[in-house]
Amino acid sequence: MLIPSAFAQTPGAAPDGAGLQMIILFVIMGAFLLFTFRSQSKRAKEHKQMVDGLQKGDEVVAASGIVGKVTELGEQYLTIEVAKDVEIRVQKAAVQLALPKGSIKAIK
């Protein structure tokens, strides 16, 4: 015989409930994606509100880890004083965290 008997057999039917299992799997995956996108958009909205609420004198942490006090605000950029007479200019979006007043020691 040239063809083994396993290849000559017809495939069996799908087990009962396989269609229902696929639907449940897709519903679970859809819910997971929905919660993931929802939490990301919520986080982005909170960050935008924090950045829009920045004022002169606020203490912030930039995405690079630099800590300083806001000395100047522009539309897209802000200036942070990191030491006495040392200021850097960063994008507003690079501000990662606004610290409570007095969190950093006085810049000398």
Whether 5 is covered by a domain: the verdict is no
Contacts of 22 (CB under 8 A, 6+ apart): none
Q: Does residue 8 have a pLDDT over 90?
A: no
Q: What Cα–Cα distance (Å) separates residue 97 from each residue in 16, 51, 60, 74?
A: 54, 9, 6, 18
- What's the confidence (pLDDT) of residue 49? 92
For residues 74 and 39, membership in a common domain is answered with no
Domain region containing 29: 17-50
Q: Considering its fold, how many domains does the chain have in total? A: 2
55-104: pLDDT as tens digits:
999 999 998 889 999 999 989 999 999 988 999 999 999 999 899 888 88
What pTM value is reported for the model?
A: 0.63
